[in-house]
Amino acid sequence: MSKTFEIIELVGVSEQNLSDAIKNAVLEANKTQSVAWFHVAEERGRVTLEGKIEFQVTVKIGRKLNN
């Protein structure tokens, strides 16, 4: 039996921490189709105009295709 996965890339954002940014991206992807795995490709942040820190992560999401 062959296994094939698709990979999508999302950016998760949180004002709390990197972990929450990752969770936000993974849980959002899981709403439409089950997530099999994920990989954090990039971490970064920014300071908003109000002086708050915003955490951002690029996450690669692997989802199994039905074959």
pLDDT at position 7 over 80: yes
Count of structural domains within the chain = 1
pLDDT in tens, 15-60: 999 999 999 999 999 999 999 999 999 999 999 999 999 999 999 9
- Which tokens is 36 given? 């099999």
Q: What is the pLDDT of residue 1?
A: 56
What CATH number did the domain enclosing 44 receive?
3.30.1660.10
pLDDT at position 67 over 90: no
Q: How far apart are CA 42 and CA 59, in angstroms?
A: 7
- Which tokens is 23 given? 């969770």
**Predicted TM-score (pTM) of this structure:** 0.86
Contact between 8 and 43 under an 8 Å Cβ cutoff? The reply is no
Confidence of residue 2 (pLDDT cuts 50, 70, 90): low
Q: Range of 50's domain?
A: 5-64
